[in-house]
Structure 1
Amino acid sequence: MGKWLSVVGIGEDGFSSLTPIAIALVNQAKVLVGGERHLEMLPKTDVRPKLVWASPIGETIATIMSMRGQSVCVLASGDPMFYGVGVTLRRKIPLEEMTIIPTLGTLSLACARVGWSFQEVETLSLCGRPVELLSAYVYNHAKLLILSADKNTPSQVAAILQSSGYGKSKLIILERMGGNQERIITSMANSWNHTEIADLNTIAVECVADKGITALSRVSSLPDNAYHHDGQITKKEIRSITLAALAPLPGQLLWDVGAGCGSVGIEWMRTHDHCRTIAIEQDASRLKYIADNASSLGTPQLRIIFGKAPLALQNLLTPNVIFIGGGITNKGLLETCWQALPPGGKLVTNVVTVEGEMKIFDWYKQLGGNLTRIAVQKAEPIGNFWGWKAIAPITQWVVVKPN
């Protein structure tokens, strides 16, 4: 089958800036799809069938796919492959059946308006995503470009910056870029008081830390006091060694079994936007710790499962890596985790008890891997002097499932 679906990016200036090829694709289409704003750009005399995006968007995607073979044109904003509908369509439809024509996108326009180069900015979309994701991107002197969900996003961003100790950050709100209603609003986060904001807006942020604020690294490990916990936390030094053993890669899914306050799974996700975590915890009182920590540290999409492993592990998405931080002696837990791993998957477990060591040593004799004893001592005052205080030693087993 040939190319039947075209996706054409349109700016706020409408069809005037489209290339001849893009105009031809729009003109020859039998059916047009887009938001009301885009479809209203068409001449009033255009009587071709038109589909307005439904909510949820999946309904319209299914309708488009049902018209496979007909000439369909989707009108999109700017660059359809930059957090756009082109990405969604591409997941469902082979590229061989599509033609994608971008126009000048939000990123290009925003950088031009504020005078930033592409390579010095980080981008984040908050369209249909939790605004708390912002927390993972904030550090002193960072330059952020944020795609807003609607007119309320700038005030939410300002609030997060203030609560994170970045109230002096500069916000530049770029409304309807490229059109005749374009407007730029500049404000400090701590003095934000604008209420009349267009739904179509992009936020440029120059992050400025308040005095005394220390940015939290995206590389492990965060200080223990960055987390709310009841003592059940993998200590900073052990966490750093553990994250190195887990070795997260973009797109991988971690099972954090016996998650405690969620520190390992959260730091796994902080390494890359596409890293995912399912945290499994049997203590109900710790679920709020995990949720609060995930929200405040920029990983609100972490998934939390309440229950005791291995029973709580049923019907979960297949993991790439499993970390067992607690409950290693639970009957059937290691067996269930090993079976759940695909070939090439990795299992990492930390134990502090003799019983736990005996369990993993039996498995180590069968499967191999690396068995490591980790001991850490920290200097602390003893009266008028200083001495070394030991953190409880950890025995760590790391093993990869054969292909």
Structure 2
Amino acid sequence: MADTPWLTILGLGEDGPEGLTDASRAALQEAEVVIGPPRHLALLPDLAAERVAWPVPFAEGLPLLMAMRGRRVVMLASGDPFWFGAGTVVTKALEPGEWVALSGPSCFSLAAARLGWGLEGVACLGLHAAPVTRLRPLLAPGARAVVTLRDGAAVGELAGWLAGEGFGATELVVLEALGGPRERVRRVTAGGYALADVQHPVAVAICVAGTGAVLGAASGRGDEWFAHDGQITKRPVRALALSALAPRPGELLWDIGAGSGSIGIEWLLCHPTTRAIGFEADPGRAARARENALRLGVERLVVAEGRAPSVLEGQPLPDAVFIGGGLSEALLAQLFGLLPKGTRLVAHAVTLESEALLALWHGAKGGSLLRVELAEAGALGSRRGWKAAYPIVQWSVVL
């Protein structure tokens, strides 16, 4: 741990030095180097410090910053550097004693102050470097969100996407350069969006309205949400699988035989910190799983192409495993030899051979063995009857 911080991460608002605290002004006056985006550097008064523009893409600036160790450096960031800002990325590469942060008000706080919204009931998302589809699980009439976007063109893309999803009646409050002399606040609807002069930096407050489809919050979403070729764990069985897998915040899932990706996607929808790797041997299905994940707002699903058990080698160890395809003696043997104690494993079987395999392993390892038979009402001539699906055998066990 360093004795004294060499780096000050300073949150700068659009009003430049006018909104700075005495501590922030002192840090700038004492700095040998000030590094930040050209837009932020232009807001500063005359300083004795050397000015260095942070390059694009952002990652290229990290080696430049680290080479400044030993000098008194101020790094400029927007508002609160630790709310979808650069601070988190930078401090990961530093020891705790090497840096200090002087935060300003975030654009989310400024937006709430303009609108009278309580942030505790508003989703706040940084979409300046993420797809707008990340909003998809939140789309329901009356829902509110504040999002940051990369530029004015991205605001138009957001409006078009919302209209395409059936939420064209959504009110958008376009918030430009909040807190500075260029501040501008305008209200439009997504379906009627026609602004062509939106300036960076920009945030958008969203009040969802419309008749688009709403993605449910419980496990076992409808099959129609997932593009597939028939290789999908159906809705009721998926709900049983997620219940047995029992997702917890921050945990990693292995979805073996991912198919459409529905199990991994539903796992990720449970909490924003969950992670999932889907393993799929068919390239077409793997691509479809990625597309499903992107469309449903969980593009963080990782899909590894290959056949288990060999494709599992070198992967980060999971907290839970679902086997929806490729079940074999060799796969179970590898998993029990590889996975740490406490890992939750859930496997589904449809064929007599795979059912017998699960019965054998259940006898040896314990856990719960469940046989599920489902039937759905359908037309039977001029009347209705039950159409039965293949029985599913589910084995769940904690290693």
Residue 200 of structure 1 is matched in structure 2 by 201
Determine if contact 2:29/2:48 at 8 Å carries over to the other structure.
no
Residue 361 of structure 2 is matched in structure 1 by 363
Query: Any idea what SS the aligned residue of 1:289 has?
Result: helix
Report the Cα offset of residue 99 of structure 1.
Answer: 1.5
Residue 35 of structure 2 is matched in structure 1 by 33
Relative to structure 1, is the Cα distance of residues 74 and 242 closer, same or farther in structure 2, using a 3 angstrom cutoff? Answer: same
Residue 18 of structure 2 is matched in structure 1 by 16
Give 4+ residue runs of structure 1 displaced > 6 Å after superposition: none
Matched residues, number: 397
Query: Any idea what SS the aligned residue of 1:322 has?
Result: strand
Instruction: Read off the aligned partner of 1:40 and give its amino acid letter.
Output: A
Give the structure-1-normalised TM-score: 0.93
Determine if contact 1:229/1:261 at 8 Å carries over to the other structure.
yes
Identical-pair percentage: 36
Report the Cα offset of residue 340 of structure 1.
Answer: 4.2
Report the Cα offset of residue 148 of structure 1.
Answer: 0.5
The residue correspondences of 1:237-316 to structure 2 (distance < 5 A) are 237-316=236-315
1:100 equivalenced with 2:101 (yes/no): yes
Residue 319 of structure 1 is matched in structure 2 by 318
The residue correspondences of 1:207-218 to structure 2 (distance < 5 A) are 207-210=208-211, 213-218=212-217
Deviates further, 46-55 or 179-188: 46-55
Instruction: Read off the aligned partner of 1:368 and give its amino acid letter.
Output: G
Instruction: Read off the aligned partner of 1:326 and give its amino acid letter.
Output: G
Instruction: Read off the aligned partner of 2:327 and give its amino acid letter.
Output: I
The residue correspondences of 1:173-188 to structure 2 (distance < 5 A) are 173-188=174-189
Query: Any idea what SS the aligned residue of 1:332 has?
Result: helix
Residue 73 of structure 1 is matched in structure 2 by 74
Cα displacement string for residues 191-240 of structure 1 (whole angstroms, at most 9, x for unaligned residues): 11222211210011110122xx4411133121112222121111111111
- Aligned equivalents of 2:67 and 2:330: distance in 1? 46
- Aligned equivalents of 2:52 and 2:317: distance in 1? 37
Instruction: Read off the aligned partner of 1:4 and give its amino acid letter.
Output: W
- Aligned equivalents of 1:56 and 1:342: distance in 2? 39
Relative to structure 1, is the Cα distance of residues 4 and 284 closer, same or farther in structure 2, using a 3 angstrom cutoff? Answer: closer
Residue 234 of structure 1 is matched in structure 2 by 233
Instruction: Read off the aligned partner of 1:200 and give its amino acid letter.
Output: P
Instruction: Read off the aligned partner of 2:18 and give its amino acid letter.
Output: S
Instruction: Read off the aligned partner of 1:49 and give its amino acid letter.
Output: E
Q: Structure 2: any 5+ residue segments left out of the alignment? A: none
Query: Any idea what SS the aligned residue of 1:392 has?
Result: coil
Query: Any idea what SS the aligned residue of 2:356 has?
Result: helix
Residue 51 of structure 2 is matched in structure 1 by 50
Q: Structure 1: any 5+ residue segments left out of the alignment? A: none
The residue correspondences of 1:116-195 to structure 2 (distance < 5 A) are 116-195=117-196
Report the Cα offset of residue 90 of structure 1.
Answer: 2.4
Query: Any idea what SS the aligned residue of 1:250 has?
Result: coil
Give the structure-2-normalised TM-score: 0.93
Report the Cα offset of residue 316 of structure 1.
Answer: 2.5
Report the Cα offset of residue 395 of structure 1.
Answer: 1.2
